[in-house]
Amino acid sequence: MFFAKDFIETAEGLIFAVVERGLEDGKVLCFLRYVREPCGWKKYQTVEANDFLEHNHPDYLHYSPVLDAHLHAVAVDRVVKHHQPKHRLQQLMQSMRHDAVERDLFRLCGLFGQHGLDLMQTGITGSILVGVQNQASDMDLVCYDREVFHQCRAITRKLIGLGKLQELNEQDWQQSYARRSCELSFDDYVWHERRKCNKAVIDGRKFDLNFIDDSASSGTISYQKYGAVSLQCRVIDDSHSFDYPAEFKIDHQQISAIVSFTATYTGQAVSGERVEVSGVLEQSEQGVQRIVVGSSREAHGEYIKVIQCIS
């Protein structure tokens, strides 16, 4: 089974990040992240990844009728290596040799383990998953159990209080904000992020906590896009706000939920809060409507912003 946050590698020397659980017509839905070049692996951003595939491997460009979106896809029989976060973390935890990034990861997981976290339900994604990290790399942890994920957030908060982890400083937040290229102001971005408690710093290295529900149903529902929409509404159910995609049930007569495919707006609001949302209206074959934030990889003009909080 393929899950979001997994990576897959092809014989041509391409590494793709999986973006959707399961398969669509025998293909893994994904997005190109790394290309093997004579000097090593090079990371590709969105525009150059699309351009590279268009000129070199157009067969990996894909339109998903289920997501009503253009992305990349790799047939299962062309996957030569399936990089899985759980397996990679266990491999690193059992290894006797680590580089500087892996040592920080080892120490972080040791702290989590000492406070009762089940490390068998966690993994590592991003550059560390495929072994292309550098001295400046962040660490992207993945939890595969909802209770474990929220426990991990609580432990992070506790360890910050104990001084064993640190909150992000001004430079960290500026770097994080610059990478996101989100529609919120810097101050709004930081206000929303601080209260999520899903990122912190250990020995000067930032880490993020992500959640993937590997027990969720793999059934797919097709949606059709109906154009841009902006409105204000109240969140009435935030129980899946840290999922991928994140979901916020709302009190709206026609629209059932806000769904976010971009990590910027994961955990963005809690039940009872009023939000302003800008995204794309979608409707399923059954007539269920939702607002998608992150309808494209960059999500230009799309956001979720709390305008009335409860605390």
The pLDDT tens digits of the residues spanning 233-280 come to: 999 999 999 998 899 999 999 999 999 988 899 999 999 999 999 999
Largest pairwise CA distance in the chain: 57
Average pLDDT in the 1-11 region?
Answer: 96
Contacts of 115 (CB under 8 A, 6+ apart): 155, 158, 159
Q: How far apart are CA 117 and CA 149, in angstroms?
A: 9
Q: What is the pLDDT of residue 66?
A: 82
| Model pLDDT, residue 218 | 58
Percent of the chain exceeding pLDDT 90 equals 84
For residue 311, what pLDDT is reported?
64
CA 107 from centroid of its chain's CA atoms: 23
Return the pLDDT at 299: 66
CA dihedral 45, 303, 174, 47 (to 10 degrees): 10
- The burial class, CB within 10 Å (0-12 / 13-18 / 19+), for 36 is middle
What is the average per-residue pLDDT within 65-89? 94
Q: What is the pLDDT of residues 287-308, one digit of tens each?
A: 999 999 986 655 678 999 999 9
Report the distance separating Cα 206 and Cα 128, nearest Å: 13
CA proximity to 177, closest of 209, 202, 206, 134 = 206
Could you tell me the pTM of the whole model? Answer: 0.92
Mean pLDDT across the chain, nearest whole number?
94
Helical (H) or strand (E) element with 192: helix 186-194
Average pLDDT estimate for 87-93: 96
Average pLDDT over residues 133-148: 96
Q: Among residues 112, 120, 123, 130, which one has the least CA distance to residue 34?
A: 130
pLDDT at 310: 80
Reading the block at residue 198, the tokens are 């899903």
Query: Which tens digit of pLDDT belongs to each residue from 17-49?
Result: 999 998 999 999 999 999 999 999 999 998 999
pLDDT for 30 equals 96
